[in-house]
Structure 1
Amino acid sequence: MRISLLGGTGDIGEALALRWAYDTHHEVVIGSRDPERARTKAEEYETELRSRDVDRKVTGFANGMAADRGDVVVLAVPPYQVAELVESVAEKLSDTVLVSPAVGMSRDEEGLHYNPPDVGSVTQLVDAVAPEGVPVVGAFHALSADRLANLDLAVDIDTVLVGDDPDAKDQVARLTTDIEGVRPLDGGGLANAPEVEAMTPLLVNLGTYNDGLHDAGVKFQ
């Protein structure tokens, strides 16, 4: 399986790239608006993996070329960039599953607050701008990028998946299970994305107000 992480030079892109490369044999592709930055970060990820005796190839390309190579394409960019990004690579997305981990949030003196777009959630926004026939799955919203990127730390967390295409959701669930210590849970259709995305500002606020919870995650029992 080839996984392309568009915006894979940022926090969540780095975390997922390292974990998939470390825990699995899937091919990991990094995308960026700047192809040189993508190649540089891919080399940095390879160096990090080699320091743990893992010899894995990670490649870097411009976002369009990365999208063209992906069986699964993860939109690892801030929420205000997702629509423009999808539209810019739309012609490269045939036979692809789109994955959206972005969450709309605003900040004031009290902390972070859920701030979805007019369509209800960032995941639904991605679905609205995705080419016809390209399934969208919301996933990885409430994961701590810092903890996931630290390969010295074990993880034991859940992530809730939402999507209207059962096959696409199953595919993303299998890729999620491949990351050691991350369990996918089915949260239903895309209409349920607002409830899932809203957990992210809650977790960040818990980390702000409580010692030892800066990289809090969710485990359902």
Structure 2
Amino acid sequence: MRIAILGGTGDIGEGLALRIAADTDHTVVIGSREAEKGIDAATEYESSLAARGIDASFTGCANVDAVTDADVVILAVPPYYAGETVDSIADQLGEEQIVVSPAVGMRGDEDGLHYHPPDVGSVTELIAERVSEDITVTGAFHNLSAGRLADLDIVLDIDTLVVGDDDDAKATVIALANEIDGLRALDAGPLANAPEVESVTPLVINIAKNNADLEHVGVKFQ
């Protein structure tokens, strides 16, 4: 498959790009608001994997170009850019493509991070409302530590929850996630369950912040 990671120059985008390229045979395209940043990141990721003896090739470009011919489009952008990013690529999205959102609305204070969803209930549902009706949206990769993903010396051994209303699309995303070594994808039901999934993320970050030995804490269901 061709996997486009929009916002692929950011923390979660980098981690997903490196893991997918290292562990699967899928083509990975790094998108950014500025094409030059996408190209630079693609070169950097290739070099990083090459240093580990992994021959991987990335394509870097602007977000709007990354969507072209992609089977899966991962919106690895901050939540406050999610709607804007969707609007910028709307004309390029086709009904055979699957859009995946890992974004979570949060706000911080002196006590830590707290879940702060949009009015519709979750960022995943917000994206589903912004795309046309024939575009399939799923939510995945919400509760993962970006640092843990990007550090290939760390064994993941964690779970990710996947939500979506289209069973076939959800199965595709689950299969993709399961190809990443040490990551297990679990079906968490329809898009309506996205708020429950997304709300776990600030909890995980707060645990990491307050426990020195759990810097890269993740979720594992047993």
User: Equivalents in 1 of 2:216, 2:52: separation in Å?
Assistant: 23
TM-score (norm 2): 0.98
User: Equivalents in 1 of 2:214, 2:116: separation in Å?
Assistant: 23
Task: Indicate the percent of aligned positions where both proteins have the same amino acid.
Answer: 57
CA shift for structure 1 position 68: 1.3
**Residue 183 (structure 2) aligns with:** 182
User: Equivalents in 2 of 1:157, 1:17: separation in Å?
Assistant: 17
Summarize the alignment of residues 87-166 of structure 1 with structure 2, pairs less than 5 Å apart. Answer: 87-94=87-94, 95-166=96-167
**CA-to-partner distance for each residue in 1:138-172, whole Å, 9 max, x for gaps?**
00000011011111111100000000000000000
CA shift for structure 1 position 82: 0.6
**CA-to-partner distance for each residue in 1:107-161, whole Å, 9 max, x for gaps?**
0110000000000000000000012211100000000110111111111000000
2:65 is equivalent to residue 60 of structure 1: no
3-state secondary structure, aligned to 2:3: strand
User: Equivalents in 2 of 1:11, 1:172: separation in Å?
Assistant: 20
Could you list the structure 1 runs, at least 4 aligned residues long, displaced by more than 6 angstroms after superposition: none
**CA-to-partner distance for each residue in 1:17-55, whole Å, 9 max, x for gaps?**
000000011000000111011000000000011011111
How many residues were matched structurally?
221
User: Equivalents in 2 of 1:131, 1:46: separation in Å?
Assistant: 34
User: Equivalents in 2 of 1:208, 1:13: separation in Å?
Assistant: 21
User: Equivalents in 2 of 1:147, 1:60: separation in Å?
Assistant: 23
**Residue 168 (structure 1) aligns with:** 169
**Residue 37 (structure 2) aligns with:** 37
8 Å CA contact retained: 1:157, 1:219 = yes
User: Equivalents in 2 of 1:207, 1:153: separation in Å?
Assistant: 16
**Equivalent position amino acid for 2:15 in 1:** A
**Equivalent position amino acid for 2:63 in 1:** N
Uncovered stretches (5+) of structure 1, i.e. residues with no partner: none
CA shift for structure 1 position 69: 3.0
**CA-to-partner distance for each residue in 1:57-81, whole Å, 9 max, x for gaps?**
1000110110113110000000011
3-state secondary structure, aligned to 2:162: strand
CA shift for structure 1 position 211: 2.1
User: Equivalents in 1 of 2:56, 2:208: separation in Å?
Assistant: 33
User: Equivalents in 2 of 1:155, 1:210: separation in Å?
Assistant: 18
**Equivalent position amino acid for 1:131 in 2:** S
TM-score (norm 1): 0.99
8 Å CA contact retained: 1:4, 1:69 = no
3-state secondary structure, aligned to 2:208: helix
